[in-house]
């Protein structure tokens, strides 16, 4: 920011030419006084205020993080939050109800996309509540037909035909179809307006490219949302091969030291960092993309296995051989361009 100097501090004779920055600053101040300041400038002012007032006790760290996420949400695209095609859990339309029941038990999702022959032929989605309603109705109707007493019979699950195809149950709901480039905030508004909480991401040829749920969008603002059925992931570093380790990005630097024998807390800029994911972001100066390889200290290389625009989730740690360590490569710089996801998939 430009400092506001009094007249007594200015030289009596010498004057300075008016620069573009000075004119812009003066112009912004006039617009602010008149209440006509552009929206983007107000957004930047809020972002700058959140960055500068670190010691301000008016906002907790959680509130500050959410406000930053809200202000940056307009930059997020659907492709940044979508579940890739390879990770979509879906069900075929000709699947019988028994197999669908087992899939709901293992998938851990309340909604599943339904397809015809392939994922490129989407038919809609099935909600677990609609599925349970259908099962309950069939159990009630079967019990009433077989009951001989005047009392209301109890539902009988044994009378349900679980060999029935999902397509015959008539319980499918529509899904939204959106392009990868659609702003995430526009999709969120559309989901609210249509009360449809699942969208399939379609490529330029009409094929299915990914999937987005309303939970994925909300998590971009509030962080990860885990319910009672989500398994508590253990923050571990597991050795995959000789000199290679698979690590959760939330694993602590102390755990890295214990497993690899390398103390990363002594590196420059790592004083206030707790996790290996935070160390990688600090080392690279940004959030690395998936499949990107970052060269680290002490002969280490970090390959990002999973990440989103906000954080690194999972990575592979590789100890470079002494011969490779002799090659002069700046720490924090990509060793090689990101590999195709198919080559990095495990």
Tally of structural domains, the chain: 3
**pLDDT mean over 97-105:** 92
One domain for residues 85 and 178: yes
- Domain assignment of residue 230, yes or no: no
Contact 312, 277 (CB under 8 A): yes
Q: To which residue do tokens 């490779």 refer?
A: 324
Cα 315–203–189 angle (5° rounding)? 85
Q: Bridge partners of 88?
A: none
Q: Which tops the pLDDT comparison, 88 or 49? A: 88
Per-residue model confidence (pLDDT) at position 118? 92
345 falls within a domain = no
Pick the last residue of a domain from 222, 250, 282. Answer: 222
Beta-carbon neighbour count of residue 204 at 10 Å? 8
Phi and psi at 50, nearest 5°, equal -70, -30
Within this chain, do residues 191 and 278 fall inside the same structural domain, yes or no?
A: no
Range of the domain at 247: 237-340
116 shares a domain with 71? no
pLDDT tens, residue by residue, 284-330: 888 888 889 999 888 899 999 988 777 888 899 998 765 544 444 44
Interval 176-211: pLDDT, tens? 999 999 999 999 999 999 999 999 999 989 999 999
Whichever domain contains 293, its CATH number is 3.30.465.10
pLDDT tens digit string along 21-39? 444 556 666 666 666 655 5
> Backbone dihedral region of 299: left (phi > 0), alpha (psi from -120 to 50 degrees) or beta?
left
> Does 92 or 143 have the greater pLDDT score?
92
What three-state secondary structure class fits 239?
strand
The last residue of a domain, from among 187, 222, 257: 222
Helix (H, G, I), strand (E, B) or coil at 341: helix
DSSP string across 58-84: TS-HHHHHHHHHHHHGGG-BHHHHPEE
């Amino acid at each position: 920011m430009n400092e506001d100097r009094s007249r007594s501090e200015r030289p009596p004779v010498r004057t300075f030419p008016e620069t573009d920055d000075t004119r812009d600053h003066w112009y912004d101040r006039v617009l602010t006084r008149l209440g006509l300041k552009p929206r983007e400038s107000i957004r930047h002012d809020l972002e700058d205020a959140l960055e500068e007032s670190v010691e301000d006790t008016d906002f907790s760290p959680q509130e500050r993080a959410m406000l930053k996420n809200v202000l940056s949400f307009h930059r997020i695209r659907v492709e940044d939050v979508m579940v890739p095609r390879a990770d979509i859990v879906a069900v075929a339309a000709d699947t019988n109800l028994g197999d669908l029941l087992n899939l709901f038990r293992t998938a851990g999702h309340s909604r599943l996309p339904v397809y015809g022959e392939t994922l490129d032929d989407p038919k809609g989605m099935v909600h677990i509540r609609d599925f349970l309603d259908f099962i309950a109705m069939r159990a009630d109707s079967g019990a009433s037909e077989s009951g001989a007493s005047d009392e209301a019979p109890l539902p009988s699950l044994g009378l349900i035909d679980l060999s029935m195809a999902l397509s015959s149950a008539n319980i499918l709901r529509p899904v939204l179809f959106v392009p990868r480039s659609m702003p995430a905030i526009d999709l969120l508004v559309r989901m609210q307006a249509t009360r449809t909480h699942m969208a399939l991401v379609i490529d330029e040829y009409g094929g299915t490219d990914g999937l987005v749920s309303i939970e994925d969008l909300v998590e971009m603002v509030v962080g990860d949302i885990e319910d009672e059925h989500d398994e508590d992931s253990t923050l571990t570093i597991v050795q995959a091969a000789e000199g290679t380790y698979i690590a959760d990005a939330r694993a602590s630097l102390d755990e890295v030291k214990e497993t690899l024998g390398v103390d990363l807390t002594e590196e420059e800029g790592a004083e206030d960092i707790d996790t290996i994911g935070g160390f990688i972001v600090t080392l690279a100066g940004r959030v690395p993309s998936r499949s990107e390889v970052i060269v680290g200290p002490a002969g280490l290389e970090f390959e990002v296995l999973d990440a989103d625009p906000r954080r690194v989730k999972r990575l592979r740690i590789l100890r470079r051989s002494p011969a490779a360590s002799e090659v002069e490569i700046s720490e924090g710089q990509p060793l090689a361009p990101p590999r195709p996801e198919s080559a990095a998939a495990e």
